[in-house]
Chain A
Amino acid sequence: MKFVCLNCETYMNFEKVEKPGENTLGVFFGCPSCNAKFSMVTNPGETQMVSSLGVKLGGRTVEAEPFEMTRGTLKAEATAGPSQMAAYLNEKIQGGQPAAAVTAATSGTPGEKSSSGCPFSAMVAEMGLTSSGKPGNAGAATSEFAWSPDAKEKLDRLPSFVKPMVQSSVEAYARKQGYKTITLQVMDDSKNDSSNGTTWTPEAEKRLENIPDFIRPMARKEVERVAKERGMATITAQVMDDVKEKFLKFM
């Protein structure tokens, strides 16, 4: 924001900001040439946006204090809290009749309706459970494979949004292997089947077991990535050494 002295055809200088009242600012400018002074007074809210950004009007002249904005904008106490506002409205609009009673009388019927039924039904619905307590059967797609009862049970125990993902990956594996029935064994095997087609020598696989189990999948991916970079389809002890070498540099 700038002002131009039209008489002298020059920018006026920003001089100071004052607070003539709550929610309003007075910004003072002076012409360096004819010495004319004036103050611009903002309407409530007009400068609030800028100060909400923690930005100083007219530019920052002194260093910001710690928590300047937080401390500056926190209300010291509730001056006009909702209860006072309600009292005021009650006085002006309802003519002394308690506002709360009016609200209750008008909203009584619909409120009653919405609160009917089991109090936990909303929670149950939110959790994606049916009233029988089992996960909703959202992902029960028809399958070209026969699932053994135990495998089916394991699949059904999965969260509904995970189920389709797992089902399709297990079935893709089964298709690749030429299986018709999916058993627990097939499910487990499909987990260890690397999607990118890399194979691990027993020696390399054994060395991976030195890694704590919860970061092992991460390590596996990292090793496979390095192998892919070097165009190797089999993870050998050599690849493992290369990865080790790579990470030694970070120590």
Chain B
Amino acid sequence: MAIEKDLKAILGKLKYSDDAKVAQQMTEQMRQVQVRMAGIKHKLVVMSGKGGVGKSMTTVNLALAFARQGTKVGILDVDLNGPCVPRMLGLHGQSLTMGPAGAIPPVGPLGVKVASMDFFLDDASPVRWKGPMDVSPAWLGLMEMNVIREFLADVVWGELDYLLVDLPPGAAADKPPVIAGFIPDLAGAIVVTTPSEVASDVVQKSVTYARDMGIKVMGMVENMSEYRCPSCGEVNELFEGNTEAMCEALDLPLLGRIPFDRKLARTFDKGEPLLDETYPTIQRYQDIGGRIRTLLDYKTVLADKL
């Protein structure tokens, strides 16, 4: 039975067909992202150079600000390992409803739709993937990017005016700008910073890197600008920094300043967000939301006002 066969000769006689179509499967994946996102008018990413500057708090409040202006809004929380948007909006414990058309996101306050890794996790349990993730971090990176792709491709957002994407923290060498590159027809990025971060060059790094990736950086939000003492009401600076000068140097509009507001933050920590639009800090978010809308429609503004 041991006949010497020449594989090359056999294959030469056969008609080759690529059944797996790996490249095609991957093209199809990206096409699906495009199809899924087609019903969303403005896609914005919220990013920062460092963690802990209040990116999620900004994302959530801007989403609420847009929703208050009567628009349809969604939040995509792509911080896979530290998702906190659902908790802030009182949606923790809910889940995506899987259907033939895709995953239907739960709806939070003011009709804001939310998709997050949090919906796949139990209380206090971190993300754990099957497979030899401990063998190589490269593997984990591949996995995570594909999970993010599924978040972009499989969530049934329906028609939205704004989708705000809360990116994980990170500057140049990290992934966030790459994730942003995943999103078709991205309107732009909003960079969140604190005055203390301004003293270092991480903000500049993330802005430059985003621009290198072809992402339009729309402007900067300065968070934790000042601290209002809850007992005496006195307003003090928390950090020393000059965000205005930095915005000028980077040729970016400063979209607004948000004080460190313990009272407001607490309501989000508890998952019972304060929604009162007459509240001063919320008004600041409303102003920033208005400025972002003006920036998105700047062509119309120029035609109208010039």
Contact = CB atoms under 8 A, between A and B. Distances in A.
Interface of A: 1-2, 4, 6, 9-11, 14, 23, 44-45, 48-50, 52-60, 65-71, 73-75, 77-78, 126-129, 133, 135, 157-162, 165-166, 191, 207-208, 210-212, 214-215, 217-219, 222-223, 240, 243-244, 246-248, 250-251
A68 B150 contact: yes
B295 A215 contact: yes
Nearest to A72: B130
A162 B204 CA distance: 9
A247 B303 contact: yes
A53 B26 contact: yes
Contact of B303 (A53, A208, A251): A251
B102 A66 contact: yes
B150 A54 contact: yes
12 contacts: A1-B20, A44-B132, A50-B22, A52-B143, A57-B20, A133-B240, A160-B201, A211-B301, A211-B302, A218-B298, A219-B302, A244-B302
Contacts, number: 191
B10 A247 contact: no
Given A69-B150, A70-B150, A59 B129 contact: no
B98 A65 contact: yes
A210 to B, nearest CB: 4
B13 A251 contact: no
Given A14-B19, A65-B98, 13 more contacts: A52-B131, A52-B139, A54-B150, A55-B26, A59-B21, A71-B120, A166-B245, A207-B306, A210-B306, A215-B301, A246-B303, A250-B299, A251-B300
Top 4 A-B pairs, shortest CB-CB distance: A247-B303, A66-B154, A75-B128, A214-B253
Nearest to B11: A4
A23 B98 contact: no
B10 A6 contact: yes
Interface in B69-117: 96, 98-99, 102-103
Interface string B125-160: 101111110010001001100110111001100000
Nearest to B25: A55
Contact of A75 (B130, B254, B294): B130
Contacts of A23: 130-131
A186 B29 CA distance: 56
Nearest to A247: B303
Given A6-B3, A53-B142, A70 B147 contact: yes
Contact of A158 (B14, B130, B201, B245): B245
Contacts of A191: 248
B7 interface: yes
B199 interface: yes
A126 B200 contact: yes
Nearest to A5: B10
Interface string B5-16: 101001101100
A40 B193 CA distance: 54
B306 A48 contact: no
Contact of B142 (A52, A161, A166, A250): A52
B35 interface: no
Nearest to A191: B248
Contacts of B21: 59-60
Given A9-B14, A59-B19, A159-B199, A211 B305 contact: yes
Given A6-B10, A53-B146, A211 B306 contact: yes
Given A10-B14, A58-B20, A210-B306, A45 B154 contact: no
B219 A214 contact: yes
B131 A9 contact: no
B34 interface: no
A68 B183 CA distance: 20
B291 interface: yes
B172 to A, nearest CB: 13
B179 interface: no
B242 interface: yes
B123 interface: no
A244 B131 CA distance: 58
A159 B98 contact: no
B245 A159 contact: yes
Given A135-B199, A159-B241, A214-B219, A243 B20 contact: no
A58 B142 CA distance: 20
A247 B150 contact: no
Contacts of A222: 302
B245 A78 contact: no
A90 B103 CA distance: 44
Interface string B253-291: 111000000000000000000000000000000000001
Contacts of B204: 161-162
B181 to A, nearest CB: 17
